[in-house]
């Protein structure tokens, strides 16, 4: 599992930000670090919607230290754009449709009783400007949201 102090796995994936564009983490670090990667199991579910809306509500705190927030899920970029629009999210959402990020960050989980496999565990990684993971939080319980104050503190420390 990707942990604090590790070099962050680099990746290129579709970014839903109203449009759809290519996002490469290493290319964004110089201008956008620290970067918050908030993995969530799926759009349009109650806890995931609450989490992304809470990040939106707290977005100013991240922007105050020049940090950038991105949500990450297995949903298609088209679904993520609709999710962004319906919830008035101002930050981009990264589509990990092929599970590459979920595997690289080792945050994969299954809901076998529902027939849903290979989605992201609810997890948050803060990546500093050197490409190091400055903070890592992973939950095995999809109903548990991160400690948002803790994430904000980690971002401030990484800035």
Catalytically active residues, by annotation = 48
Find out whether 102 and 20 touch, Cβ atoms under 8 Å: no
* Pair 149, 58: CB distance under 8 Å: no
**91 neighbors 59 (Cβ within 8 angstroms):** yes
How many other CB atoms sit within 10 Å of the CB of residue 102?
21
The pair of structure tokens assigned to 114 is 């529902």
132: exposed, middle or buried (Cβ count in 10 Å: 0-12, 13-18, 19+)? middle
Closest residue by Cα to residue 81 from 14, 141, 1, 7:
14
Q: The tokens of 31 are what?
A: 């201008």
């Amino acid at each position: 599992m990707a942990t604090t102090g590790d070099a962050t796995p680099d990746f290129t994936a579709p970014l839903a930000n109203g449009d759809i564009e290519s996002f490469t983490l290493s290319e964004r670090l110089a201008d956008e670090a620290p970067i918050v990667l908030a993995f969530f199991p799926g759009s349009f579910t109650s806890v995931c919607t609450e989490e992304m809306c809470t990040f939106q509500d707290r977005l100013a705190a991240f922007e105050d230290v020049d940090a950038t927030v991105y949500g990450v899920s297995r949903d298609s970029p088209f679904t993520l754009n609709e999710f962004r629009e319906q919830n008035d999210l101002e930050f981009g959402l990264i589509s990990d449709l092929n599970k590459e990020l979920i595997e690289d960050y080792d945050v994969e989980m299954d809901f076998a009783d529902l027939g849903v496999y290979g989605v992201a565990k609810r997890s948050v990684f803060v990546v500093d400007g050197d490409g190091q993971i400055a903070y890592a939080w992973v939950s095995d319980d999809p109903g548990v949201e991160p400690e948002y104050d803790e994430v904000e503190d980690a971002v401030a420390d990484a800035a």
